[in-house]
Structure 1
Amino acid sequence: SKSLLSSLLAVGNIASLGTELPSAKPPTRKQISMVIPTMFFDITADDEPLDHVSFELFADKVPKTTENVRALSTEEKGFGYKGSSFHGIIPGFMCQGGDFTRHNGTGGRSIYREKFEDESFLLKHTGPGILSMANAEPNTNGSQFCICTAKTEWLDGKHVVFGKVKEGMNIVEAMKCLGSWNGKTSKKITISNCGQLLISFDFHLNGVYYCCYSKTVQPFLYSS
């Protein structure tokens, strides 16, 4: 019933994803996690909370790149984005972060120990909310990334697009206002916490399968 659906979606400050299924049998949680990994960043400005930004990873298109970002967000390898800052923000262009080793745009590392190759340029920088890797030259991807605040087609073929903002674009807009033409920020913009959104429960209703997410900093692991 509609009342049941409303009650379920109200639990735990969750977001839902409804997908029409070709059959009555819903996909497993493991299958969903592999198709649409959804991450979150909690953002602060001079240690004052702004809120969180969630983003989907295009794991089906660029699996190696998205696994790097996913694992750095969960910090399951013992290092990652938590505590790092957005060192460069240019209004009308992008917010750049991910340097958790030097915090100034000259560092960072991937989960693969070395820099890794540009996986694919199939996906394009189509507008605000697109996430792509930041690198100094071809095939030198590490951990740095940017969140676009405009269409940036001149980056196509040079930087690998790996995701898009799902919720919290208003927070990205607030971050943009703290940037400048040379990238320096008027406040320190920090990822105070980060992780992967897990499916806390799921259900099948009227031919539609719903998976509902809750925040966690733990890796996305299911046995089923």
Structure 2
Amino acid sequence: MTKSLSLLPVTLLLFSCAPVAQTTKTPAQPAPVVPAPAPVPARAPAAPAGYTLMAPLSTAPVRQFDKAAQVIDPARFYRAVMNTGKGTITIDLNAKAAPVAVNNFVFLALNHFYDGTRFHRVIDGFMAQGGDPNSADLTRKAEWGTGGPGYRFMAENRNGLKFDRPGVLGMARAASLDSQGSQFYLTLAAADFLDGQYTVFGQVVDGMAALNSLTKTSQTGAFGEQPIAGAEADVLNSVQIYVK
């Protein structure tokens, strides 16, 4: 599927993780609280050859920080295994080319930040976006896509890596280059029009079938991007990090 560039906002806020204006109606009576389903306990798969599973930094999800602590050595190799309801997605993280983004992702994953969040924005033939802590709460659906970890950091958008194939892992951001936080996206097709504008920091090495099967939640058309009625975003149960 070829995606027309004309469908994208001129300011390239397509992957915006900054707050956006929301219009909500006040209900006549308090809406019942609908708790998000508890993350499905995921048994960590056997470590890939030569890799060691990194120990978590917390025992439960922590979703607010002042900054990401330094937890990686850019000279080493890191692999993330996303456990979703549609299967596992294994991603090699490029710490050499994008050390700040990889450190941020690893730090958040080790703090269970992503556990129970959702792939809240999935567009067929384009990308699957996740990483918003608000998406762990069904009662905050109007705010999905606006959340972050409590801090922001600069894009590494000139590292030579490209969105030239399916399964490329990129960092979401708002208009400014220093607005990256926790949100990320995985391409479902090549998206070279994003080259040089967004941080590439990983590549899917296994699990493309699981990635492609994620529920599509949005579609583009004559009236721009619109949610797909009845679509239920898939949960990211957990993320394990391996190092060698």
* TM-score category of the 2 structures, normalised to the smaller one: 0.5 to 0.7
Residues 20-69 of structure 1: CA deviation (Å, up to 9, x unaligned): xxxxxxxxxxx99842200111102xxxxx22111111101111111001
Higher strand proportion, which one?
A: 1
Equivalent residue pairs, number: 164
Find the partner of 1:164 among 193, 197, 203.
Answer: 203
In the superposition, relative to structure 1, how do residues 106 and 153 fare at CA in structure 2: closer, same or farther (>3 Å)?
same
One-letter amino acid of the structure 2 residue matched with residue 105 of structure 1: G
Partner of 1:133: 171
- How far off is 1:123 after superposition? 1.1
Partner of 1:209: none
Q: Is the 8 A contact 1:43 1:193 kept in 2?
A: yes
Q: TM-score, normalised by structure 1?
A: 0.66
Q: Is the 8 A contact 1:40 1:195 kept in 2?
A: yes
Q: How does 1:38-53 map onto structure 2 within 5 Å?
A: 38-44=79-85, 50-53=86-89
One-letter amino acid of the structure 1 residue matched with residue 168 of structure 2: I
Partner of 1:105: 145
Partner of 2:241: 196
2:77 maps to 1:36: yes
SS at match of 1:65: helix
Structure 1: state its 5+ residue gaps.
Answer: 1-11, 18-30, 45-49, 200-224
Q: How does 1:176-187 map onto structure 2 within 5 Å?
A: 178-181=216-219, 182=226, 184=228, 186-187=231-232
Cα distance in 1 for partners of 2:80, 2:227 equals: 25
Q: Is the 8 A contact 1:90 1:183 kept in 2?
A: no
SS at match of 2:201: strand
Runs of 4+ in structure 1 off by over 3 angstroms are 12-17, 31-34, 177-180, 182-185
Cα distance in 1 for partners of 2:134, 2:75 equals: 28
SS at match of 2:134: coil
- Residues 115-124 or 125-134, more deviating: 115-124
Q: How does 1:200-219 map onto structure 2 within 5 Å?
A: none
Partner of 2:110: 74
In the superposition, relative to structure 1, how do residues 61 and 198 fare at CA in structure 2: closer, same or farther (>3 Å)?
closer
In the superposition, relative to structure 1, how do residues 36 and 89 fare at CA in structure 2: closer, same or farther (>3 Å)?
same
Partner of 1:115: 152
Cα distance in 2 for partners of 1:169, 1:15 equals: 17
Structure 2: state its 5+ residue gaps.
Answer: 1-44, 51-71, 137-143, 220-225
Q: TM-score, normalised by structure 2?
A: 0.61
CA-atom RMSD, angstroms?
2.5
SS at match of 2:107: helix
Find the partner of 1:149 among 188, 191, 202.
Answer: 188
SS at match of 2:190: coil
In the superposition, relative to structure 1, how do residues 195 and 183 fare at CA in structure 2: closer, same or farther (>3 Å)?
farther
Residues 92-130 of structure 1: CA deviation (Å, up to 9, x unaligned): 100000001355101112xxx521111232211011000
Cα distance in 2 for partners of 1:41, 1:102 equals: 16
Cα distance in 2 for partners of 1:14, 1:33 equals: 20
In the superposition, relative to structure 1, how do residues 136 and 15 fare at CA in structure 2: closer, same or farther (>3 Å)?
same
Cα distance in 1 for partners of 2:79, 2:227 equals: 28
2:134 maps to 1:89: no
Q: Is the 8 A contact 2:74 2:95 kept in 1?
A: no
SS at match of 1:16: coil
